[in-house]
A and B are shown apart, each in its own frame.
Chain A
Amino acid sequence: MERTNEVADVCLLAGKIMLQSGAETYRVEDTMMRIAASFGMPHSHSYVTPTGIIFSIDGLGPTKLIRIAERSTDLQKVALVNGISRKISEGALELEEAYEMLKKLEKEHLAYPISVQVAAAAVASGCFVIMFQGRWIDFWPAFISGGIGFYGLHYMHRLVKIKFFAEFFASFLAGVVAVLLVAVGLGRSLDNIIIGSVMPLVPGMLITNAVRDLMAGHLVAGLSKGAEAFLTAFAIGTGIAVILAMY
């Protein structure tokens, strides 16, 4: 009985970290059931949606529920939990050890510093201008507006916890900067600069995860992620539309 509880805790912690870091729903369920099975509980059930996990080990102990409020994208954590679960399956980790490792991982902050992320977004924006058949003269304007837009997303998201408003604000900001740069004469093609600078905001993670979850039969998770991706795209589009309407 005691042990069942502990196994359930390890499973839920692993699932929680993965879901918060942007893993696909089916991977979360799969990982939790594998961990339970390798600790000698082959009959477990899990139900995962993007906002919560319900987990139960058949006939033993209470069913547990965890609510996930905040989600971000941190693929390194997903990979690390995956590694831990692999080790557990091979029998290389004891229950307590695994729990300690997961607890430590949960607290760790692995993301690159925000300055590096902004720089990456800026470089990506510039590169997208070239990829979309733009000219090199528009590289730097897109670099600047893409970087500022991405920083705006980060800043706004810390200020207000409404993701869609932060995205709207970010694309609006990128658009304002792009218009200013073109007005000053630094950039030529406003269209290319704006398209390049909003690309870092595109919900690529959500799109791939939504499709893969739908494929794995997780209809609730797949549809809700699809809706989230659609809302994000809509927020970006609205931000740009406001700029274009004013310009």
Chain B
Amino acid sequence: MIIEQLVTSWIASAAFGLIFNVPKKLLSHCGIVGMIGWIIYVLLVKGRVDSVFATFAAAFFVAVLSQLLARVYKTPMTIFSVSGIIPLVPGGLAYEAMRHVVMNDYNMAIQFAAKAFMISGAIAIGIVFAEVANQIVKIRIS
């Protein structure tokens, strides 16, 4: 079960790296960043943590990991972070919201949309916190 998730998330993230034309030798790194982010999310949700916080934690780790790798390989951080962030995007919730809009069930639609909005916000906050952590570390080193 977990192995299935590990393998598919690695492949999906590396495939996204390919779509965004990440340099060939860094594709597997993209996969690993995406895999770690996704596994954090899956394990937290399985441990009955709210999906908003799980998304936040996963996005935070994806961004921190990307910053570390960016420093090691001296390349822009975006190369590693994009493919890690994409699996966290609440595609399923947005889909459910759309489905209920089409069925004229606006009450449910708004609930799903609100949740999707919260999760998108959690991704943003995760990236922001990673940025803050990065700057604090930078100040301490110099």
**A207 close to B4 (CB less than 8 A):** no
Q: For the complex, is A245 an interface residue (Cβ under 8 Å from B)?
A: yes
Residues from chain B with a CB closer than 8 A to the CB of A240 are 95, 98
A204 to B62, CA, bound (A): 13
**Contact assessment for A120 and B16 in the assembled complex, using a CB-CB cutoff below 8 Å:** yes
**Chain B residues, CB < 8 A from A244:** 98-99, 102
Which of the 9-residue segments A4-12, A95-103, A158-166, A194-202 touches chain B? A194-202
Which residues of B come within 8 Å of A, CB atoms?
4-5, 8-9, 11-12, 15-23, 38, 74-76, 78-79, 81-83, 85-87, 89, 91-92, 94-99, 101-102, 120, 123-124, 127-128, 131
| Contact assessment for B19 and A117 in the assembled complex, using a CB-CB cutoff below 8 Å | yes
B89 near A202 (CB under 8 angstroms)?
yes
Query: A211 at the A/B interface (Cβ < 8 Å)?
Result: yes
Partner of B91, one of A82, A202, A205: A202
Instruction: Return the contact of A207 from the options B20, B99, B120 (Cβ within 8 A).
Output: B120
Chain A residues within 8 Å of B, Cβ to Cβ: 22-24, 27, 73-79, 82-83, 86, 110-112, 116-117, 120-121, 123-124, 127-128, 130-132, 150, 191, 194-195, 198-200, 202, 204-205, 207-209, 211-212, 215, 233, 237, 240-241, 244-245
Contacts A/B (CB < 8 Å), 15 sampled: A74-B21, A77-B21, A79-B75, A111-B21, A123-B11, A124-B16, A191-B95, A202-B89, A211-B123, A211-B127, A211-B128, A212-B131, A215-B131, A237-B97, A245-B102
Residue on A nearest B131 in the bound complex, by CB? A215
> Smallest CB–CB gap between B88 and chain A, Å?
9
A127 to B14 CA separation, bound complex (whole angstroms): 11
Contact A76:B76 (CB < 8 A) given known A131-B9, A204-B16, A240-B95: no
Question: Distance (Å) between the CB of A191 and the closest chain B CB?
Answer: 7
Bound together, the chains give a CA A233 to CA B128 distance in angstroms of 22
Known: A75-B78, A131-B9, A215-B131. A120 touches B91 (CB 8 A): no
Please determine whether B74 and A75 come into contact, CB atoms closer than 8 angstroms.
Answer: no
**Contacting pair A27 B76 (CB below 8 A):** yes
Q: Distance in Å from the Cβ of A92 to the closest Cβ of chain B?
A: 14
Q: Is chain B's binding surface mostly helix, strand, loop or mixed?
A: helix
Of A79, A120, A195, A199, which contacts B18 at CB under 8 A? A120
Whole-angstrom distance from the CB of B99 to the nearest CB of chain A? 6
B98 with A237: CB separation less than 8 A: yes
From known contacts A124-B12, A207-B123, A237-B94, infer whether A82 and B18 are also in contact, taking CB-CB under 8 Å: no
CA distance A48 to B87 in the complex (A): 30
Contact A233 B92 (CB under 8 A): no
- Given known contacts A78-B78, A205-B82, A120 and B15 CB-to-CB distance under 8 angstroms: yes
Given contacts A120-B19, A211-B124, 11 further A-B pairs with CB under 8 A are A82-B75, A83-B74, A110-B21, A123-B12, A124-B11, A124-B16, A128-B8, A131-B9, A191-B99, A195-B92, A195-B95
| With A75-B22, A127-B12, A204-B83: A24-B78 Cβ-Cβ less than 8 Å | yes
What residues on B are CB-neighbors of A245 within 8 Å? 102
A198–B76 CA distance with the chains assembled, in angstroms? 27
On chain B, the residues within 8 Å of A22 by CB distance are 20, 78
How far is B131's CA from A24's CA once the two chains are assembled, in angstroms? 14
Interface pair A82/B16, CB less than 8 Å apart = no
Chain A residues whose C-beta falls within 8 Å of the C-beta of B11 in the assembled complex: 123-124, 127
